[in-house]
Each structure stands twice: as C-alpha cells, then as structure tokens.
Amino acid sequence: MQKNSRLRLTAALLTLLVLLFAAGCGSNFEPDALSYVLLIGIDNGAQNLLRVSYLIAVPKVIAGGGQGGGGGGGGEGQRSAEVITVEAPSIYASMNMVNSFVGRKISLMHAKGIIFSEAMAKDGSMSVIVPGLTQFRETRGTAFIAVARQKPEEILTKMTPFLESNPAKYIELLAGNQSFTGYIPGEKLQDFYNDLKIGGINPVSLLFAVSDENLPPHNGQSSYRSEGDYIAGEMVKKGGVFLEAMGAAVFREGKMVGTLNGDETSIYSMFRGQYDRRIYTIKDPLKPGNLVIMDVSQADKPRIKIKLTGEGPIIEARLSLEGNVLGVNSLIDYSLPRYRSLLEQAFEELIEQQARDLVEKTQQEYRSDIIGFGNKARRLVLTQKDWEQLNWPALFEEAQVSVDVEYKIRRTGTLLRLMPVARSSD
C-alpha cells in the first residue's frame, strides 16, 4: 500500500517533468540553426536611426576550405562570409530584421569586433550604444572596438582574408598583432566601457580604413619617414586584404576628438603598460644619413608619479625599454660600449620627444587624458568624495609632465661584431 503510494508519487513527478520538458525549454539551438556574426558595423542610418552591417560566416564554405581554395579570392566560389546591412532603430531590432530574410537566427556570440563609423564616433552616439552592447548577453567584453574612416559596411566587405578561410581567425589575429607591431591600441570593448565610465581616463579605439591600393609612381625623391608615422588609410600598400588597421581614435567625454598615428599609439601603449614590442627604424646618431633598425620591447612596467602642487599637478613618468639591434646601415659597431651608449641615448631622446609631443597633444589639442594619469592621481586622495572634488579633467590640462626613458640594448641580433666593408676608394 505504502509502496504503491511512493510509486505513484514518483510516477506523478516524472510525468510532470516530462510534460514540462515537452512544454518548452527553448534555449537550445542546433549549431546549424544559427548564423554567426563575426563583425558588427554600425553607422548612422539614412532613413532610420542606425545602419547595422553584419559579417556573417558561411560555415559550409569555411569548413570546405580545403577543396574550395581561397573562398574570398573574389571571382570564383562563394565568399566565406557575407555582409548584410539593414537600417533599424536599434542593434537588437536589426537582428530581428535581418532574420526576416536570413533563415538562421542571428547570434552575436562569436562577434570578434564592433566597428563604428567615424561620424557616429564624432557625434557621441557611439558612446551611447556601447553600454547597451555590454549589457547584452551574447556580445563579449573581449571583442575589439574600432572606428572606421569609411563606411563600416565597406570595411566589412573588404574583410576577405586571402590566407584564412575563416574570417574570424583573421580578425582575431589581426587585433592580436598589437603585441608585436604596437601600431594599434589593445583596447577591448570592456576596456572602452570602463574608460568611458570612470573619471580618470578617456577611451581610445582602433582605427580602421579601406586602403586605396594605389602605388604612386617613382619620382626619385623618397625620404625617411618613420614606419609609425601613418594613420589607417594613408599607408602605401597593395595586395592582400584591402584594409588597414593603424593608429587610434581619441575620445573625450564620449566623443571622438582626433586620431593618433602608429608611433603615437606605441607611446600611448608604453604609458599604459600595454606595449609589448615593435620594430623601430631610427636615424643613425653618428651618421645621420644612415639608419639603425631595432626591435624594442618593454623592460618594465611604466612608473608614473604624480604630485599635487599649487600650480597644478606635476607628473613624472618613467618608461623602461630594452632592445635588440637588428640592422645597422652605417656599419658602425654598436656592440662596442662607447657607441652603444650613444645609440641608447639617442633612442631615449627620440622616445622622450615623442612622449612629450603626445602628452602635449592630449593636453592641448584633444584635452583628453587618454594616458590615464588620472587613474594614478586617484592614489593621492583618500576617499571618493575627495576625488570628485579634485576635478581631474581640469587639472590634467595644466599638468606639468616630464618623461624619462630608460633604454638598454641587450643584444645585437645574431652578430656580435660588425666589421667594416673593405672599400678600394678609401
């Protein structure tokens, strides 16, 4: 009797469960019932508020990459990712709108980056949209955030890697190249959002542009120009992917106020401790007509000290770098101590100059503390109230910044000594 009632109870519970399961637990989607967005492009709309573009992966082309060859080659075969653009009042609405002509449900789970148009960045609507993106479950804080100098949909259309069959891999690798080029900031969506929210720092973002794929004719007047002295879209290049990612966009109070070129971005990264390594080509300090090429990496985290005085804050920044000499055109043997210290000194001065220029630019031109001196200044106050009373943005503009760079050459490539070339005329 009692055994029966236990059995009955179990049976009733099981039936209930089965019914509930049947009634719906609709969170599951077959992997081939979703369409995976790899990149989102957001622009002002012509008729509606936003014009949203999606770069959607085409799995069958990507997985069949072996026989399909370069899916993105352009002419033959299907592209490995398709660009879809709709106009909508909001991003999430645009997802549903896309699904009125795309069968598979749009999913932002694997979105690797978000690209805004320069116009949106400049009128501040980008900073309005970003918090909404961090609130959404599918987008991740680890996606990169970029400003496009052209239309975002154009950037997405050009996103046809020739090496990778999978554009996602291309995008992720491209954004990760920051660690050895230093031309772009390592800012992710979450960092952008954090910087936007707190008072001591202003955000930056990546800068994307379509390259014009035009090699100018030779006129015999080429001259030295630092490799970082470019902003996306200005580089002279041809082939590969018709895109450039170089430099950074600077924001103040949520609005884009200017750009940094590759060199400035490297210095910015050095200040923020995000710099890893890059190659510098500098003029030879002893023979100015020649060049020295070095692989420069960060030796130590930057140390930034701030003092508050009557005339405003005094900031002392100390960057320590170390390097590896890769090539010396002048054939001066920089492995000898007397030459080496000269080279080190020259490079220190160069970086110090660039750093001072960058700080000045942010203070006077952009009036935006992207370097985050404000964050360091938080150490000077005891409570949140004091910090708010400090009014850092105003203080920042009158801060006296001194930069001290310490550079040490650790090794000289594969060669220990550099012997002069025998020349008959000398």
Partner 1 sequence: MQLKHWANKILGYNGPPASMDFELAETKEEQQSASQAGQEENVPASKSRQHKIRKPRKTGPGGDNGNASSTDDTVIQPGGTGAGDNPERSKPGSAPQEIQVALETNRKIIAQLFNLPINKDVIVREFTLSTEPPVPAFLIFIDGMADTRLINDSILQPLMLLTNLEPGLGIWPDTCTNVLQKHLPSNQVKKLTLFEDVVTQVLSGATAIFFDDCSCAISAETKGFPFREVDTAKTEQVVQGPQEGFVENLRSNTALVRRIIHSEQLITEYLEVGMRNNNNVAIMYMADLTNPALVQEVKRRIRGIKTDYLAESGVLEEFIEDHPLSLMPQIIKTERPDRVSSMLLEGKVAIIVDNTPFVMLVPGLLFDFLHSSEDHYVRFSNGIWLRVIRLFAVFLTILLPAFYVAIATFHQEMIPTDLLLSIAAAREMVPFPTIVEILLMELSFELVREAGVRVPGIIGPTLGIVGTLILGQAAVAASIVSPILIIIVAVTGLSSYAIPNYAAAFGFRFMRFIFIFLAAVLGFFGISSGLFMMLCLLLNMKSFGVPYLAPVSPKTASSHDLILRFPAWQQENRPDYQQTLDTRRQPELSRGWATRQSAKPPGNKANKEGD
Partner 2 sequence: MINQVKIGLAEAITLLVITMATKLFLTYPLIIVSRGGSAAWQIVIISGLVTLVFFWLILKYIERFPDRSFPETAEYISGPYFGGLLVMVLLLPWLFELTMTFRRFGEMIVIIALPETSIGLIMLIFFCGAGLAAYLGLSTIARACHLVFPFTLGAALLIVAFSYSNWDTDWLFPIFGNGPWITIKEGVIQSSAFYELSFIYALPLVFYAHQIKKIGYTSIIVTTVILTTMVLAYLLAFPAVVGEEPYLPLYNMARSVYLGRFIQRIEAIFLLFWVISGYLWVSVGVYGLCHILKDWLKLPDHRPLVLPALIIVFALAFIPQSLPDAVLKTGEYFNNIAFIPIFGLPLLLLLLAVLLGKGGKNNAEK
Q: Which does 252 bind (CB under 5 to 8 A by kind): partner 2, partner 1, none?
A: none
Q: Which does 387 bind (CB under 5 to 8 A by kind): partner 1, partner 2, none?
A: partner 2
Q: What is the 3-state secondary structure (H, E, C) of 130-142?
A: HHHHHHCCCCCCC
Q: How far is the CB of 322 from partner 1 (least distance, A)?
A: 34
On the 0-12 / 13-18 / 19+ scale of CB atoms within 10 A, 412 is: buried
Query: Phi and psi of 93, rounded to 5°?
Result: -65, -35
Which residues are near partner 2 by CB under 8 A?
Answer: 13, 16-17, 20-21, 23-27, 137, 140-142, 169, 172-173, 176, 188, 190, 193-194, 197-198, 200, 372, 375-376, 378-379, 381-387
Closest CA to 126 of 185, 239, 16, 206: 206
Q: How far is the CB of 160 from partner 1 (least distance, A)?
A: 16
Q: Which residues have C-beta within 8 Å of that of residue 136, sequence separation ≥ 6? A: 92, 108
Tokens, residue 330: 């002048």
Closest CA to 342 of 413, 264, 287: 287
Tokens, residue 292: 């020295």
Q: Strand pairing partners for 52?
A: 42, 86
Q: What is the 3-state secondary structure (H, E, C) of 91-144?
A: HHHHHHHHCCCCCCEEECCCCCEEEEEHHHHHHCHHHHHHHHHHHCCCCCCCCE
Stretch that binds partner 1, among 28-36, 250-258, 289-297, 328-336 (CB under 8 A): 28-36
Q: How far apart are CA 125 and CA 154, in angstroms?
A: 20
Q: How far is the CB of 4 from partner 1 (least distance, A)?
A: 8
* Run of H or E residues at 249: strand 243-252
Q: Name which of 20 and 236 has its Cβ closer to partner 1.
A: 20
Q: How far is the CB of 113 from partner 1 (least distance, A)?
A: 12
List, edge to edge, every strand of the sheet that includes 400-411. Answer: 277-283, 291-309, 312-328, 400-411
Buried b (16+ CB within 10 A) or exposed e, 342-361: bbbebbbebbbebbeebbeb
Stretch that binds partner 1, among 21-29, 115-123, 308-316, 342-350 (CB under 8 A): 21-29
Q: How far apart are CA 367 and CA 252, in angstroms?
A: 7
Q: Which does 198 bind (CB under 5 to 8 A by kind): partner 1, partner 2, none?
A: partner 2
Q: Which does 410 bind (CB under 5 to 8 A by kind): partner 1, partner 2, none?
A: none
- Given the structure tokens 């390259």, which residue do they identify? 211
Site string for partner 1, 154-183 (x = CB under 8 A): ------------x-xx--x-----------
Q: Which does 57 bind (CB under 5 to 8 A by kind): partner 1, partner 2, none?
A: partner 1
Q: How far is the CB of 133 from partner 1 (least distance, A)?
A: 15
Site string for partner 1, 38-57 (x = CB under 8 A): x------------------x
Q: Does 27 engage in binding with partner 1 (CB under 8 A)?
A: yes
Q: Name which of 60 and 379 has its Cβ closer to partner 1.
A: 60
Number of chain positions touching partner 1 (CB under 8 A): 35
3-class SS at 409?
Answer: strand
- Given the structure tokens 């300090």, which residue do they identify? 285
Question: Around 422, how many Cα atoms within 13 Å sit in the side-chain half-sphere?
Answer: 0
Q: Name which of 44 and 107 has its Cβ closer to partner 1.
A: 107
Q: Name which of 29 and 224 has its Cβ closer to partner 2.
A: 29
Q: How far apart are CA 91 and CA 53, in angstroms?
A: 10
Site string for partner 1, 59-88 (x = CB under 8 A): xx-xxx------------------------
Q: Which does 26 bind (CB under 5 to 8 A by kind): partner 1, partner 2, none?
A: partner 2
Q: Does 19 engage in binding with partner 1 (CB under 8 A)?
A: no
Q: How far is the CB of 69 from partner 1 (least distance, A)?
A: 16
Residue type (1 letter), 338:
R
Residues interacting with partner 1, by CB under 8 A? Answer: 2-9, 21, 25, 27-32, 34, 36, 38, 57, 59-60, 62-64, 107, 109-110, 112, 138, 140, 166, 168-169, 172
